[in-house]
Amino acid sequence: MKAYELMKLAQVSPKEYKGKLFSVVDGAAIDVRGKEYKTVVVNSTSGLSDITNLYRMYVSDMTMLEEVKQPSKPVYFMTAVKAYHNGKTIKGVNTDGTALEYKHKGTYPNDMMDGMGRAISSHEIFECLWYIND
């Protein structure tokens, strides 16, 4: 779906679209600082913003978006850590839409490492939205 078509639909039915996530599949979504985002959310003013609603997104008439199905509602970081400790896989989604997944390996100690072997950072702890994968 083209970004401008989504914004028209959101103006007509704001309750239906507010808070829905969309990934940018073609073109770009850029904030006022020039930072490009891979995921955007429909905000309360029927526009597009980053997932924290801090920055409004600017898109061209050719930008194509695809709805992202959210697996669950975000949880507090410590709730995610507890689920991880109990064997669940958790995911942190950064403000630019990139996702980091932490899979429990079933061994002890089990440090929180992403799929590339990097330890969790303070930026991820404070800035990500956290989800528990079922």
Can you give the pLDDT of all 134 residues of the chain as single tens digits?
A: 999 899 888 888 888 888 788 889 999 999 888 999 888 888 877 588 877 777 888 998 899 999 887 666 889 999 999 998 888 889 888 877 778 888 887 766 667 877 777 888 888 888 888 988 87
C-alpha distances out from residue 101 to 47, 50, 92, 94, Å: 29, 20, 6, 11
The whole-model pTM stands at 0.57
The answer to whether the CB of 80 falls within 8 A of the CB of 131 is yes
User: What is the per-residue pLDDT for 64?
Assistant: 94
Q: DSSP label at 31?
A: -
User: What is the per-residue pLDDT for 81?
Assistant: 92
Cα 98 vs. chain centroid, distance in angstroms? 7
User: What is the per-residue pLDDT for 27?
Assistant: 92
User: What is the per-residue pLDDT for 110?
Assistant: 65
Tokens linked to 33: 């600082």
User: What is the per-residue pLDDT for 113?
Assistant: 79
User: What is the per-residue pLDDT for 21?
Assistant: 84
User: What is the per-residue pLDDT for 103?
Assistant: 85
